[in-house]
């Protein structure tokens, strides 16, 4: 049986409804943690990619090549459909053509692209500016045509930052969202609503499926509330990033204060964790199985008289 494309599986998940909830990952490892937790899809955060890969903030300093490389690692590491942040498409409509090609080739199932000026910045910090709507629609059209030529099931999510941009408004954001849907986008993503009332208005006024980013200035809603509103997809982009950052900071402070004793305490505790066997999580058992299948029994003899973790 031919395996379905990731893009096809993502479309089916969205179509099943009522709300597909997808936490964000920033690396192949964090994506695998989400997979082990039982999620149906993963989302690659641009903020997390920038900070984890370069140590720099989400202000357009990460290149398309870096974003695509991270997306490729994530898509290869898990068996789940991946939605990836594509920032502004990394230029004008012509750049968007290559961006969509590269994301599709990397194994991504869908992307979102915004109407900010280039370089952009995180959608939940002040100082954002947007390009003219006509230019933004042209970029969406370029993405749609490229999708249709390469993978018609690839999911295009068109984002507008007009709600919180300099001189922007919710009215303008809704106008743009509907124009993007009319140009062929699959979902509309209005970044940064600041109240439940704004989210409700978006869900009433947008003439197609709504993608919701539950972070930053935007209200926290339950899955039941989002389902009642008809939200198609919701992401929590940086919860995993913040969790890792906090945990690493706390352990670093303990090791700075107590030296090796802190690491010893941590390891004693971590061994009881569901992912406490790091070598098993990393995949050494699979490597040993491959060796047995493809290298033969001769290759297995090295395990008999060597020291260390013994994969099953």
- CA torsion sign for 59, 62, 68, 72 is negative
- Residue tagged active-site, from 128, 191, 212, 234: 191
pLDDT digits (tens, 9 = 90+) for 54-106: 999 999 999 999 999 999 999 999 999 999 999 999 999 999 999 999 999 99
pLDDT value at residue 2: 63
Over the chain, what HEC string results?
A: CCCCCHHHHHHHHHHHCCCEEEEEECCHHHHHHHHHHCCCCEEECHHHHHHHHHCCCCCCCCCHHHHHHHHHHHHHHCCCCEEEECCCCCCCHHHHHHHHHHHHHCCCCEEEEECECCCCCCCCCCCCCECCHHHHHHHHHHHHHHHHHHCCCCEEEEEECCCCCCCCCHHHHHHHHHHHHHCCCCEEEECCCCCHHHHHHHHHHCCCCEEEECCCCCCCCCHHHHHHHCCCEEEECCHHHHHHHHHHHHHHHHHHHHCHHHHHHHHHHHCCCCCCCHHHHHCHHHHHHHHHHHCCHHHHHHHCCCCCCCCC
Q: Which of 72, 102, 103, 114 is catalytic?
A: 114
| Catalytic residue flag (residue 265) | no
Concerning whether 87 is annotated as a catalytic residue, the answer is yes
258 is catalytic: no
The boundaries of every CATH 3.20.20.60 domain in the chain are 6-236
CA nearest to 119, candidates 62, 194, 40, 34: 62
Catalytic hit among 26, 47, 70, 122: 122
**Active-site hit among 32, 58, 163, 238:** 58
In angstroms, the CA 201 to CA 42 distance is 27
pLDDT one-digit tens code per residue, 222-243: 999 999 999 999 999 999 999 9
Give the whole-angstrom CA distance, residue 248 versus residue 242: 10
* CA Rg value for the chain: 22
Catalytic one among 163, 213, 234, 238?
Answer: 213
Q: Is domain 6-236 classified as CATH 3.30.70.270?
A: no
∠ CA 255-261-262, rounded to 5°: 40
The whole-number pLDDT of residue 297 equals 87
Q: Is 263 a catalytic residue?
A: no
d(Cα 104, Cα 154) in Å, to the nearest integer? Answer: 7
Say what the pLDDT of residue 155 is: 99
Q: Which of 32, 70, 87, 121 is catalytic?
A: 87
Residue from 11, 25, 43, 186 carrying the catalytic annotation? 43
Predicted TM-score (pTM) of this structure? 0.95
Task: Give catalytic status of residue 114 as yes or no.
Answer: yes
Give catalytic status of residue 58 as yes or no: yes
Low-confidence ranges of the chain (pLDDT < 70): 1-2
The reply to whether 203 belongs to the active site is: no
Catalytic: 122?
A: yes
Catalytic site residue from 11, 72, 112, 124: 112
């Amino acid at each position: 049986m031919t395996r379905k494309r990731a893009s096809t599986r993502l479309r089916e998940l969205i179509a099943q409804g009522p709300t597909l909830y997808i936490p964000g990952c920033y690396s192949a490892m964090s994506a695998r943690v989400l997979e082990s937790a039982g999620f149906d899809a993963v989302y690659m955060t641009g903020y997390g990619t920038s900070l984890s890969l370069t140590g720099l903030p989400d202000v357009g300093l990460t290149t398309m090549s870096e974003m695509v490389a991270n997306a490729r690692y994530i898509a290869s590491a898990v068996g789940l459909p991946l939605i990836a942040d594509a920032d502004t498409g990394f230029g004008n409509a012509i750049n968007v053509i290559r961006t969509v090609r590269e994301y599709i080739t990397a194994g991504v199932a869908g992307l979102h692209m915004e109407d900010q000026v280039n370089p952009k910045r995180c959608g939940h910090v002040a100082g954002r500016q947007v390009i003219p709507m006509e230019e933004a629609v042209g970029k969406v059209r370029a993405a749609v045509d490229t999708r249709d030529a390469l993978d018609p099931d690839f999911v295009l999510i068109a984002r507008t930052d007009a709600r919180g941009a300099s001189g922007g408004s919710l009215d303008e954001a809704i106008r743009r969202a509907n124009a993007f849907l009319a140009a062929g986008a699959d979902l509309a993503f209005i970044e940064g609503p600041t109240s439940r009332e704004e989210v409700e208005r978006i869900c009433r006024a947008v003439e197609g499926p709504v993608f919701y980013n539950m972070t930053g200035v935007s209200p926290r809603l339950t899955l039941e509330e989002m389902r009642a509103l008809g939200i198609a997809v919701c992401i929590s982009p940086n919860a995993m990033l913040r969790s890792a950052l906090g945990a690493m900071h706390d352990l670093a402070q303990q090791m700075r204060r107590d030296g090796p004793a802190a690491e010893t305490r941590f390891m004693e505790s971590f061994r009881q964790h569901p992912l406490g066997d790091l070598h098993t999580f990393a995949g050494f058992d699979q490597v040993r199985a491959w060796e047995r299948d493809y290298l033969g029994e001769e290759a297995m003899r090295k395990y008999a008289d060597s020291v260390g973790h013994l994969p099953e």
